[in-house]
Amino acid sequence: MNIELVKQLVEGYGPSGFEDHMRDIIRPFIEDYADEISVDTMGNLIARKEGDGSGLKVMVAAHMDEIGVMVTHITEKGFLRFTNIGGVFPVTLAGNRVQFADGTMGVVYSEKRESRTEVHGLDKHYIDVGATGRDDCPVSVGDAAGFYRSFRAQDDFLVAKSMDDRIGCVVAIEALQRLESTPHDVYFVFSVQEEVGTRGAEAAANGLEPDVGIAIDVTTTGDTPEAATMAVELRAGPAIKVRDAGMIAHTGLVRLMRRRAEEAGIPYQLEVLEGGSTDARSIQIAGPGAAAGVISIPTRYVHTVSETVDSGDVENSIKLLVEVLSKPIEL
């Protein structure tokens, strides 16, 4: 796994709907490996790898966008009120930093609280960009910011904002780079607007009408103190999704992924996620429907500025995707 690629992707700016910069970061890493690269109207970056004609049409999706905030109002004294872009939890906010497209940095904090354990909703938080009033405020209503935190690799313990889903983008990019030949016509879609309802993947899948759809995304784990019960844990390999709140994975595709992992000696676990979904949901029910599944990267602290993955799990996710794409897919 290319750690420099991870750093560039996770530190990049790209809240849902504002992914232009992420497209520019990803493009140089895929250019030499794809037979064709295009950008559709919504902004999905699509890299096609041509097959030998004997296989299926496969769409691989990893989303480029990240959760963030959007300015709704600027107070007379220059503080910003905001709303969420995607799943932003109030407990993750106070003292954290956000960054706008032009690099402007802001500190998030909340109004006074009655007790130390009280947490306000988003409407009682604000962003301080150092302005003294509306006139010298460098941002406008409608501007979007992503959270801002640098990447750290402590041996195999990788911590960053936006592992969701830039680490999925890393898996897709490295799988494309390592995929020497494939029977399938493979479309690697770096999708937009996943965090606001898997919108980019829906448009892409309607356009491409793939036979098979595989999303690469993060999933939560149940291996931390008093966590919600879940079988997935860090360092036990990629999780092959069986179901989440938005989809039941195609059983034939789940069987095939498990078989490919076993044949190649890749550790894996099975995932049942009770909340949330991925681009695979959109792909599954777009057009005439597709056989859809997900390779999930086990991730702690999802939707915080310290999303945490294990580099071995990432490496094994790349290997599993290459195994699936380089061989016939019998469903």
Active site residues per annotation: 194
Q: How far is the CB of 158 from Co ion (least distance, A)?
A: 17
Q: How many CA atoms lie within 13 A of 19 on its CB side?
A: 30
In Å, how far are 22, 146, 194, 196 from 16, measured between CA atoms?
A: 11, 9, 7, 7
As measured in angstroms, the least distance from the Cβ of 67 to Zn ion is 9
**Of how many residues is the chain composed?**
331
164 binds Co ion (CB under 5 A): yes
Q: Is 164 in the site for Zn ion (CB under 5 A)?
A: yes
User: Cβ distance 105 to 129 under 8 Å?
Assistant: yes
Distance CA 65, CA 2 (A): 20
Contact call for residue 19 and Zn ion (CB under 5 A): no
Give min distance, CB of 165 to Zn ion, in A: 4
Residue of closest CB approach to Zn ion = 165
Cβ proximity to Co ion: between 164 and 185 the closer is 164
Among 66, 143, 217, 244, which residue sits at the site for Zn ion (rule: CB under 5 A)?
A: 217
Q: Please report, for residues 87, 96, 181, 206, 305, the alpha-carbon distance to residue 68 in angstroms, rounded to integers and kept in the order given.
A: 8, 12, 38, 27, 11
Token pair of 239 as six digits: 């999780």
Q: Is residue 66 within the footprint of Co ion (CB under 5 A)?
A: no
Which one of the spans 5-13, 68-76, 114-122, 162-170 is the region binding Zn ion (CB under 5 A)? Answer: 162-170
Closer of 31 and 274 to Co ion (Cβ): 274
Per-residue x/- mask for Zn ion, residues 85 to 124, rule CB under 5 A? Answer: ----------------------------------------
Structure tokens at 229: 């019960």
* In the complex, least distance from residue 191 CB atom to Zn ion, rounded to whole angstroms: 10
Which CB atom, from 164 or from 233, has the smaller least distance to Co ion? Answer: 164
Q: Which CB, 174 or 244, lies closer to Zn ion?
A: 244
Give alpha helix (H) positions in 238-278: 251-264
The angle, 0 to 180 degrees and rounded to 10, between the axes of the packed helices 20-30 and 3-11 is: 160
Q: Segment contacting Co ion (CB under 5 A): 164-172, 226-234, 237-245, 312-320? A: 164-172
217 binds Co ion (CB under 5 A): no
Residue pair 309/218 in contact (Cβ under 8 Å)? The answer is yes
Rounded Cα–Cα distance for residues 299 and 273 (Å)? 13
Q: Which two tokens stand for residue 99?
A: 């960054």
E strand spans, the chain: 36-39, 45-49, 57-63, 68-74, 79-85, 97-100, 105-110, 125-128, 144-147, 152-154, 157-160, 185-191, 212-219, 239-243, 269-272, 291-298, 307-310
Task: Map the footprint of Zn ion across residues 290-309, applying CB under 5 A.
Answer: none
Q: How far is the CB of 199 from Zn ion (least distance, A)?
A: 13
Taking the complex as a whole, the smallest distance from the CB of residue 218 to Zn ion amounts, in Å, to 6
CB nearer Zn ion, residue 167 or residue 266: 167
Residues that bind Zn ion (CB under 5 A): 164-165, 217
Residues that bind Co ion (CB under 5 A): 164
